[in-house]
Amino acid sequence: MSQIFSSIKEREEKLLIRSYSRYPLAIVKGKMSHLWDADGKEYVDLLAGIAVTALGHCNDEICAVLENQAHKLWHVSNLFYQEEQLELAEEMLSTSHHDKIFFCNSGAEANEAAIKLARRYTKKVKKRDAYEILTIEGCFHGRTLGTLAATGRQALSDGFEPLPTGFRQVPANDIAAMEAAITEKTCAVLLEVVQGEGGVVPLPEHYLKQVEALCRKKDILFICDEVQAGFCRTGCFWAFQNYGLTPDIMSTAKALANGLPMGAMMATDQVAKGFEAGSHATTFGGGALAAAVGTKVVRIMKRDDLSKRAARLGKSLCSRLAALQERLPGKIKEIRGLGLMIGIEIGEKCPEVWLELVHRGFICSLSHNVTLRLLPALTIEEEDLMNFADTLEDILKTL
């Protein structure tokens, strides 16, 4: 550990409330898919700030929009009409079957908005006294009290009880269990098409289609959390589009403004009737600065057809990894994913492999201590991905 890094670490320990366990790196600079640490060492970034900087760090086109907007208008609150918001709304809605959008600032907030809309729509429009939302084991929906309750993971809620009620978890890939869990109090199902924090676990297509059909049959809402998988990462603009699903509500955030905090919830015209003026609000949501950046993000993704690029690069990396898996039997347990959302399950030696990757200049995330999770920028050079695969092979050989 370098002197510079140690002193940064020590300084932080005095200042910040302990709530993160950090990787042993202090990052000072980024350009597209490359990062530099405080000692000047360069890394290939395969994590993109957890699927956030999907167009790369300090992308020139995004920087130009940010600079321009910074001299025009930042924030006036949602008391006013702002065209920046409308431009983003038009761009966002052009990507899916939804009719209306609500802006907020994070993934958890987007899910809170989705939960509130589902409940209020059911109560006020459908006139049904139902509020319970079913979620899937292994899911992650955020860290607010409501989204923690939806996430249903004891380790994350330890010490924070009581959590809001009205959430129930069902096992994945078991439609009978879901059907049995639906009661007259159920108003919606909320799921991630590819579970991200759960370790990159794609839900099977037939199961997802069964869930949607069950929601239609029982007349409850179908909600997709696209916070991580959305924005072209899985090969379609939204992950649910891979399977022709049409959720009533969807939430998103991470890549929306390429690193500026921003979230959104989209709904059909019918379900959007669940909110009226005053039902829900946020001070910062859809501010002009973040909205202008978000608009550029969506335009670039559409212009450059980045969902196709993600599908192509994901396929080429996964076949390279599959070959590696065959050459080194037993070293890789499973390769999972969709597009550029990839999990490489290594097992108990994973932390060691991950740290060696860092030493050799490759940053990815270590998921549940057993899986390497890759969420690179959609603009990453194929060469960077192949260099990662070569380096991983080299490390696994000597393991």
Ligand X SMILES: *Cc1c(COP(=O)(O)O)cnc(C)c1O
Q: Contact between 140 and ligand X (CB under 6 A)?
A: yes
The minimum distance between CB 230 and ligand X, in angstroms, equals 9
Using alpha carbons, list the distances in angstroms from residue 231 to 78, 256, 263, 275, 371: 25, 7, 12, 25, 23
- The total of other beta-carbon atoms located within 10 Å of residue 151's CB is 24
Q: Which is nearer to ligand X, 201 or 335 (CB)?
A: 201
Q: Which stretch binds ligand X (CB under 6 A): 96-104, 105-113, 116-124, 165-173?
A: 105-113
Q: Which stretch binds ligand X (CB under 6 A): 73-81, 96-104, 136-144, 304-312?
A: 136-144
- For helices 60-70 and 288-303, the axis angle rounded to 10 degrees is 150
Q: Which is nearer to ligand X, 192 or 384 (CB)?
A: 192
Edge-to-edge, what's the strand order for the sheet holding 371-374? Answer: 334-338, 341-345, 371-374, 365-367
> Which residue from 34, 57, 120, 141 is in contact with ligand X, where contact means CB under 6 A?
141
Q: Contact between 106 and ligand X (CB under 6 A)?
A: yes
The minimum distance between CB 140 and ligand X, in angstroms, equals 5
Q: Which is nearer to ligand X, 196 or 202 (CB)?
A: 196
Instruction: Give the angle subtended at the CA of 26 by the CAs of 21 and 30, to the nearest 5°.
Output: 120
3-state secondary structure of 41: coil
> Which residue from 56, 107, 146, 286 is in contact with ligand X, where contact means CB under 6 A?
107
Q: Which is nearer to ligand X, 132 or 197 (CB)?
A: 197
Residues near 19 by beta carbon (within 8 Å), at least 6 away in sequence: none
Q: How many angstroms separate the CA atoms of 110 and 104, rounded?
A: 6
Q: Contact between 112 and ligand X (CB under 6 A)?
A: no
# residues contacting ligand X (CB under 6 A): 14
Residues in a beta bridge with 363: 45
Q: How many angstroms separate the CA atoms of 238 and 242, rounded?
A: 8
Q: Which stretch binds ligand X (CB under 6 A): 2-10, 89-97, 106-114, 386-394?
A: 106-114
Q: Which stretch binds ligand X (CB under 6 A): 29-37, 62-70, 134-142, 291-299?
A: 134-142
Q: How many angstroms separate the CA atoms of 346 and 219, rounded?
A: 42
Residues near 209 by beta carbon (within 8 Å), at least 6 away in sequence: 243, 245
Q: Which stretch binds ligand X (CB under 6 A): 10-18, 176-184, 191-199, 370-378?
A: 191-199
Site for ligand X in 72-101 (CB under 6 A): none
Q: Contact between 192 and ligand X (CB under 6 A)?
A: yes
The minimum distance between CB 190 and ligand X, in angstroms, equals 10
Edge-to-edge, what's the strand order for the sheet holding 42-45? Answer: 27-31, 34-37, 42-45, 362-363
Site for ligand X in 193-252 (CB under 6 A): 196-197, 225, 227-228
Which residues of the shown chain bind ligand X in the complex (CB under 6 A)?
A: 106-108, 111, 140-142, 192, 196-197, 225, 227-228, 253
